[in-house]
Structure 1
Amino acid sequence: MVKVSMDADCGNSPKVAFLKTLNIAFAEGNVALISDSVTENIVWNMIGDKSIEGKPDFVKTLEAMKATKTKELVLKSIVTHGKEGATNGEMILENGEKYAFCDVYEFSNAKGSAIKTITSYVIEIKSK
């Protein structure tokens, strides 16, 4: 089980709750929940790495990522406005590696019921 911590939020935003659940699903490798949360034509831009287009390739990438186990997820902030949202935090893997991340989301509609695009910025935090 992944340890999850999050700074306090107002607690009354359905889109914030949606992104919190989505990030926890990423950390836990819950491919089914994640794939149910995106559109068929999802685009995932991993800055400095690659771009994934379409749900079949998106799911294939998620399945491959399941081998990387997360020990702890720290969500520092989640913000949403209209058809956009973003999360900022850190992930600590079971092997001790630590990463800072920021994911920027575009929802398919203002209700925020599905993700149309994800742009991910990930930086490894080196131990001193």
Structure 2
Amino acid sequence: MKIVSTADCENSPKKKFLIEFIMAFATNDFVYVSENTSKDLYWDIVNNTLIKGHEEVKKVLASTSRISEIEILTIITHGKTASINGTVRYEQDSIYSFCSVYTFVSAGKNTIKAITSYVIKMN
């Protein structure tokens, strides 16, 4: 699995954390995901799925197709919120554009309590 991101992502601890978090999602690393999210995580994939809590996240990760590449175009962080947009290519060549908005439990912690994702199939 390949991740492509802009060079400015490496000089911010929160941006670096978000890249690692996306890699954990892409590789189905539930241990990393659960260690860095609140137990009552609320993940809304708009117009598709609403996922609540670690057990539901674990099921989604287990059922997700294998990702071959993620391109991160932009990461914006401020206080206890962050946003990432980019594209995801799956091994069967499906391509999706996405934008996810993350809410952390506080500005100083890397524990995510909510995610809202907007996903559009490109092919």
For Structure 1 versus Structure 2, the TM-score category normalised by the shorter chain is over 0.9
CA distance in 2, matches of 1:11, 1:28: 20
CA distance in 2, matches of 1:26, 1:57: 13
3-state SS of the aligned residue for 2:11? Answer: coil
Gaps of 5+ in 1: none
Q: Is the 8 A contact 1:105 1:115 kept in 2?
A: yes
Gaps of 5+ in 2: none
CA distance in 2, matches of 1:91, 1:46: 15
TM-score (norm: length of structure 1): 0.90
- 1:45 is matched with 44
1 or 2, which has the higher helix percentage? 2
Q: Percent identity, aligned pairs only?
A: 35
The alignment of Structure 1 onto Structure 2 pairs a total of residues equal to: 123
Q: 4+ residue runs of structure 1 moved beyond 3 angstroms?
A: none
- 2:67 is matched with 70
- 1:15 is matched with 14
Distance verdict in 2 for CA 1:34–1:76, change over 3 Å: same
- Is residue 92 of structure 1 aligned with residue 109 of structure 2? no
Distance apart, 1:112 and its partner CA: 3.2
CA distance in 2, matches of 1:112, 1:97: 34
CA distance in 2, matches of 1:26, 1:91: 12
3-state SS of the aligned residue for 2:7? Answer: coil
